[in-house]
Structure 1
Amino acid sequence: GYATSTFGKWGMGFFDTSGSPSNQGVDHFFGYNCQRHAHSYFPTYLYDDKQPFLLPGNDGKTVGKTYAQELIQNDMIRWVREHADEPFMMFYAITLPHGRHEIDDLGIYADKSWSLKQKSYAAQVTRIDSDMGELVDTLQELGIDKNTLIVFTGDNGSSFNPKSDIGKLFEQSSNDLRGYKRGMYEGALRQAAFARWPGTVPAGRVDDQPWAFWDIMPTFVELSGATPPPGYETDGKSLVGYLKGGPAPKRDYFYWELHTDAPIQATRFGHWKAVRNGITKPTELYNLQSDPGESNNVAAANPNLIAKAEQIFKDAHRPDPNWPLTGKSEAHAKSAVAAWALTRERVKQEWAPPGAVERPASGTSSTPQ
């Protein structure tokens, strides 16, 4: 079998739930086990597996003395070295360059005539680059890089309003795509990615055929030879042939659904893209081949395509009482308010979980064996 690990941010469930990393096939976890907690890059604590440990000199409110990403990166490199002689699968959920845009070293941006937030964001992006470089260097040093597939991507398209301070400085709208994070237009959904597997993934190949992150699971299932457990379901398609130089897998459509205050949906079939910004809103239609910026809504001229898109919205949606298309459920709304209130109170108190320990200086695991 494979040794498995996750580093960075885990947001699928706390340790006493079915969503805990240890209940999801993860042998080793290191980082934040909370989306809200991960907004601080100088938190009062992190987790080494289930064991919380303290970060000296941090209050969780400001730039402190111990940069979380440094510890996460170091533990990741340590784990790769320890498992270099066996098959492994690692999910590296790097928090950078997410808000609050904090970093321990502004580096080459320190003297720029930018705001501190702009400098910090740029330094975070550069830090990702150097950290990924260290990972590749380590794989090469260990002699396993040609037998290791790396897939690198983000979790959304443009992150900022083009009119914001970061959006303007870094020209977030320069891709000529409409929208940004938390939307259903291409500027929010399209995300570049790269795959590295020397000798297997064709070097230098650049391709614009679409695929989706839900294709990663069936890809890894095929590569590992694993037998999916009973009840395994996926909307994804294996990318193995595509990664080796073939065409992207064919499918009937892509489907997206996002639950903000008003749930929104989108589908792409062929070169057509449909967007519905709320269950009571009209469905919009765009021809991505001639209009990738989604500036010309051609819904009125294509009633048959609108009917097809709305049928996809109906067929692809999986009803769940926690995520109704009519809006946030009362229980969900209350739990979100309560969770953020608790987070703010804990930040004010410079809280750490009961049982948090001092981490050994050597960086070895503090989890009892």
Structure 2
Amino acid sequence: MKLNKLSYSSFVFVATLLLFLACKETKKEAISAVNTNKKEKVKVKQRPNIIYILADDLGYGDLSSYGQVNFKTPNIDALAANGIKFTQHYTGSAVCAPSRSSLMTGLHTGHTPIRGNRELKGQEGQEPIPASSVTIAEVLKEAGYVNGAFGKWGLGYIGSTGDPINQGFDEFYGYNCQRQAHRYYPTHLWKNDKKVLLKGNDYTNMVTYAPDLIQDETLKFIEKNKDTTFFAYVPLVLPHAELMAPKDSIFKKYVGKFKEVPHTTKERYTSDYGPHINPTEYSSQDKPYAMYASMVDRLDVYVGQIVAKVKELGIADNTIIMFASDNGPHKEGGANPAYFNSGGGLRGEKRDLYEGGIRTPFITVWPNKIKAGTTTNMVSAFWDILPTVADITETTIPAEVDGVSLVPTLVNQGEQKQHKYLYWEFNIQKGRKAVRKGDWKGVWYKINAEKQGKFELYNLATDPKEEYNVASTNLNIVAELKQIMKDSHTESKLFPFK
């Protein structure tokens, strides 16, 4: 029997829907089965609330607790003073989407489904993570958590398999699309699958500052769920370009403090608000350094408000707060990482697989569990967060992950499993890969170029700034790390490494 165009389209739609539901149901059953078995073996105590705050393009050296001297971050520093500070924690990738995919799935970029910032024509949003992916939110949902995400998503447009409400979150508010998040005065945000128009914003008039609204929704979620057990994923947009914030008391603290280099529309990828705006670009900024400092300061204020809300509600003793950044510092929109030493003296920045592009601050507070003022040099990464959360909540997942639980390090009890190695790949500019094994760090750029780039080898114990390539005198180590690079990669049709 031949199908006409209408019936054929209906058939494809129904078949796709059934496949999507089958994937989700299979994933749900698998998680439930494993968690049920786990619960039979242990007595589940009251599980803690978990708040994971993710800054956007904040450098390793952008916090005063990590060495910043040009501006202060007292609220985030207080987290470090009351918890544990990691000095060798790594992001999932050197840019937004793959880094967040690694965080959500517990898989490094050789395995995680999203490995680059792949844009979709005609869609407000990026390539979606598939229905079969198991996320932190889904693991926690099966454990009885209420899950909310507030900020920038970037892992699938509204209604797709990667939509946050299709990946374990009960509530989402913010930017679904990371291109739209280039602007701090957008025309709209999203609340679940509903578009929320922002009062007074039309890309000419700038009235409503989106991050302030997102912060309000974050605090409302925490308050609404104070009597439940919740997971709040807070991927803040600050201090990602554009460099823009209200010119209020926070901004005024920094006006005149720095020798400014204005960023104008003559610069690449820059257009101002007005009738000729390109919304995916960045605005000009006559005081970019003061504005950048104020944006980090504002981010710190948001963190302080979250901590204060938890204390006000009387749930601080049973709430874990984690803080990190998605990749190294950016230099778009007039930002200057070198001026503020945003990389903390490390080589590289956003998009680099050198330390400055992928090493991030990481702080965790867990009252009565983590000793205040602890510092650790445990080598860890974004793909450790899912198994860590599963360990904390006495749940598990059905599939293998690349991470290890950090709980022994957090609470200073038991034997901490160490990584055999950490691996990154990034398919830009003819391919980039990096491996860290012990103190050895291998970096390889232009792997697929006609004139292949040279393999670089650094000993981070003696050369943390990656200044001295010692590949020529350590050929056995080079061969070992090259083999790890080969073995760690699984092919991706969406993100081919070529």
- With the shorter chain as reference, the TM-score category is 0.7 to 0.9
Deviation track 1:118-141 (CA, whole Å, cap 9, x = no partner) reads: 222111101111111011011111
Partner of 1:354: none
Name the CA distance, whole Å, in 2 between partners of 1:169 and 1:129: 20
Partner of 1:323: 495
Match status 1:20 vs 2:163: yes
Match status 1:204 vs 2:373: yes
Cα distance 1:282–1:168, how it changes in 2: closer, same or farther (>3 A)?
A: closer
Are the equivalent residues in 1 in contact too, given 2:243–2:335 (CA < 8 A)? no
Partner of 1:42: 185
User: Which secondary structure does the structure 1 equivalent of 2:336 belong to?
Assistant: helix
Are the equivalent residues in 2 in contact too, given 1:42–1:68 (CA < 8 A)? yes
Partner of 1:4: 147
Match status 1:54 vs 2:206: no
Q: CA deviation at 1:178?
A: 1.3
| RMSD of equivalent CA atoms | 1.8
Structure with the bigger RCO (C-alpha within 8 Å, sep 6+) is 2
Specify every segment of 5 or more residues in structure 2 that has no aligned partner in the other structure, as ranges: 1-143, 261-285
Identify which of 84, 91, 94 aligns with 2:236.
Answer: 94
Name the CA distance, whole Å, in 2 between partners of 1:60 and 1:109: 26
Q: CA deviation at 1:60?
A: 3.3
Partner of 2:421: 253
Partner of 1:170: 340
Are the equivalent residues in 1 in contact too, given 2:435–2:485 (CA < 8 A)? yes
Query: TM-score w.r.t. structure 1 length?
Result: 0.83
User: Which secondary structure does the structure 1 equivalent of 2:329 belong to?
Assistant: coil
Query: 1:212 corresponds to which letter in structure 2?
Result: A
Partner of 1:158: 329
Cα distance 1:96–1:301, how it changes in 2: closer, same or farther (>3 A)?
A: same
Are the equivalent residues in 2 in contact too, given 1:285–1:299 (CA < 8 A)? yes
Name the CA distance, whole Å, in 2 between partners of 1:222 and 1:274: 31
Name the CA distance, whole Å, in 2 between partners of 1:117 and 1:248: 43
Specify every segment of 5 or more residues in structure 1 that has no aligned partner in the other structure, as ranges: 327-369
Query: TM-score w.r.t. structure 2 length?
Result: 0.62
User: Which secondary structure does the structure 1 equivalent of 2:400 belong to?
Assistant: coil
Identify which of 476, 480, 483 aligns with 1:308.
Answer: 480
Identify which of 110, 124, 142 aligns with 2:295.
Answer: 124
Name the CA distance, whole Å, in 1 between partners of 2:244 and 2:416: 38
Name the CA distance, whole Å, in 2 between partners of 1:254 and 1:44: 40
Name the CA distance, whole Å, in 2 between partners of 1:145 and 1:28: 22
User: Which secondary structure does the structure 2 equivalent of 1:90 belong to?
Assistant: strand
Q: CA deviation at 1:249?
A: 3.2
Deviation track 1:141-188 (CA, whole Å, cap 9, x = no partner) reads: 111111111110101133349xx7622431336x33211111111111
Are the equivalent residues in 2 in contact too, given 1:151–1:196 (CA < 8 A)? yes
Deviation track 1:237-283 (CA, whole Å, cap 9, x = no partner) reads: 11111111257531210001112232200000011000111223232
Are the equivalent residues in 1 in contact too, given 2:446–2:453 (CA < 8 A)? yes
Identify which of 199, 205, 213 aligns with 2:382.
Answer: 213
Are the equivalent residues in 2 in contact too, given 1:185–1:294 (CA < 8 A)? yes
Partner of 2:445: 277
Q: CA deviation at 1:61?
A: 5.8
Q: CA deviation at 1:323?
A: 1.8
Name the CA distance, whole Å, in 2 between partners of 1:169 and 1:281: 29
User: Which secondary structure does the structure 2 equivalent of 1:192 belong to?
Assistant: strand
Name the CA distance, whole Å, in 2 between partners of 1:264 and 1:213: 19
Name the CA distance, whole Å, in 2 between partners of 1:185 and 1:303: 20
Deviation track 1:59-82 (CA, whole Å, cap 9, x = no partner) reads: 2367x1101011100011011001
